[in-house]
């Protein structure tokens, strides 16, 4: 039977932003409820080595870091709910949050920490071979390419990290990038350029995924040089798309103000959205830094701002009585 639960603060999303908000809110005695979503732990659960989260001299693993954050949030008193939100009503307070299980949460304040998800090129052939040789997650699927040839599309940190990770399995990794320079961190670029298994094709884009139908599998890629328009075909068993991320903000469309690129708008130096009592933290709002540590910082800010908001509401209601 579905239940309706009232909470002072509900946090949607369980990445670094969500867990940090939960830890601060729990320690402020707000008894937070966190609805964890489909991929508890967020994007860090599908990465491997984390070398830039402060506090760890040794390389740590993304999934391990998220487990620690989850344990800490639970330990200080967060109620963790393994459910997925399918609708919110932010038109009046308290807010209503509806989940796939049928359960409803009535929230005095809300932290949106739904993060971001991998972007696709939206080529019809990419769609046809998704799950059959086309992937957006080397950590999830790299293992299937032992001794095979793979292509990585993109030039940011994700693309370079995925290419390096894939060398653990693949025979050869070809990175295809639309410009003649990567935007990835220098240290990662240097590792990539030094790696004997990795080649780079510059100024080029994926024109088409080449594959066979039975069994459905990738056999190569048609690559177009953006300067000359020449199309060449290269053989490959797998293609990894690593062209960035889009914010997971659809649930809030038309209810909170957003930037034209779909990121939730917040007040300067604040996590306050256009709806009083609704705060946004992490990759769903940050289109600039997008780091685990900045997401955690924003999560902290969101909880502190929610706490102040709830205290002010309380003062107002006492004064009104
Ligand atoms: P990103 O930095 O936005 O890079 C996306 C890459 O894909 C860019 O090189 C871009 O090309 C290319 N691209 C975008 N649209 C394309 C298209 N339609 N066709 C072909 N290429 C396309 O995304 P990201 O690498 O996923 O990283 C996202 C954020 O997470 C960044 O802030 C990154 O620093 C962070 N991150 C950090 C780490 C780490 O610190 N270890 C690891 C992973 C991600 P252009 O360069 O030409 O724009």
DSSP 186-221: HHHHHHHHH-TTEEEE-SEEEEEEEEETTTTEEEEE
Mutate to test the pocket of ligand 1, among 115, 244, 298 (most ligand atoms within 8 A of CB): 244
For atom 37 of ligand 1, the residue with the nearest CA is 157
- How far, in Å, from the CA of 182 to the mean position of ligand 1? 9
Q: Contact 158/182 with Cβ under 8 angstroms?
A: no
> Of 83, 108, 141, 237, which residue is the catalytic one?
141
* Residue 237 falls in the annotated catalytic set: no
pTM of the model: 0.84
- Ligand 1 atom closest to 118 (CA): 26
For atom 28 of ligand 1, the residue with the nearest CA is 244
* CB contact set of 18 (below 8 Å; sequence gap of 6+): 11, 12, 34, 36, 42, 111, 113, 281, 282, 299
143 CB-contact burial (10 Å; exposed 0-12 / middle 13-18 / buried 19+): exposed
> Of 137, 149, 199, 287, which residue is the catalytic one?
137
Cis (ω within 30 of 0) for the bond into 215? yes
- How far, in Å, from the CA of 163 to the mean position of ligand 1? 13
- In this structure, what token pair is assigned to residue 104? 């409803």
Mind listing the pLDDT tens digit of every residue in the chain (321 residues)? Answer: 899 999 999 999 999 999 999 999 999 999 999 999 988 999 888 777 788 899 999 999 999 999 999 999 999 999 999 999 999 999 999 999 999 999 999 999 999 999 998 899 999 999 999 989 999 989 888 999 999 999 999 999 999 999 999 999 999 999 999 999 999 999 999 999 999 999 999 999 999 999 999 999 999 999 999 999 999 999 999 999 999 889 999 999 999 999 999 999 999 999 999 999 999 999 999 998 988 999 999 999 999 999 999 999 988 888 888
> What is the distance between the alpha carbons of residues 234 and 117, in angstroms, rounded to a whole number?
28
* Residue 103 falls in the annotated catalytic set: no
């Amino acid at each position: 039977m579905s239940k309706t639960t009232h909470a002072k603060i509900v946090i949607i999303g369980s990445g670094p932003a969500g867990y940090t908000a939960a830890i601060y809110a729990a320690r402020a005695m707000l008894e937070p409820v966190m609805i964890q979503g489909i991929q508890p732990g967020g994007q860090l659960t599908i990465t491997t080595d984390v070398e830039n989260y402060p506090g760890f001299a040794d390389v740590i693993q993304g999934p391990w870091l998220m487990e620690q954050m989850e344990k800490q949030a639970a330990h200080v008193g967060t109620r963790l709910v393994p459910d997925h939100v399918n609708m919110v009503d932010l038109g009046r307070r308290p807010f209503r949050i509806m989940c796939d299980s049928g359960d409803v949460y009535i929230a005095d304040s809300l932290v949106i920490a739904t993060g971001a998800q991998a972007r696709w090129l939206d080529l019809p052939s990419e769609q046809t071979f998704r799950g059959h040789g086309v992937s957006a997650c080397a950590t999830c699927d790299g293992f299937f390419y032992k001794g095979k040839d793979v292509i990585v599309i993109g030039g940011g940190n994700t693309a370079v990290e995925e290419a390096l990770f894939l060398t653990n399995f693949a025979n050869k990794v070809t990175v295809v990038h639309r410009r003649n320079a990567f935007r990835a961190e220098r240290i990662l670029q240097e590792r990539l350029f030094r790696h004997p298994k990795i080649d780079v094709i510059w100024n080029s884009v994926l024109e088409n995924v080449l594959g066979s139908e039975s069994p459905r599998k990738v056999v190569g890629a048609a690559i177009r040089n953006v300067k000359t328009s020449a199309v060449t075909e290269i053989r490959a068993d797998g293609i990894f798309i690593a062209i960035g991320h889009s914010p997971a903000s659809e649930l809030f469309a038309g209810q909170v103000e957003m930037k034209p690129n779909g990121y939730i708008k917040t007040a300067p130096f604040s996590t306050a959205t256009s709806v009083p009592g609704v705060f946004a933290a992490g990759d769903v709002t940050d289109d600039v830094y997008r780091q685990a540590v900045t997401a955690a910082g924003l999560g902290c800010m969101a909880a502190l701002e929610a706490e102040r908001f709830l205290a002010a509401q309380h003062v107002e209601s006492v004064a009104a009585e």
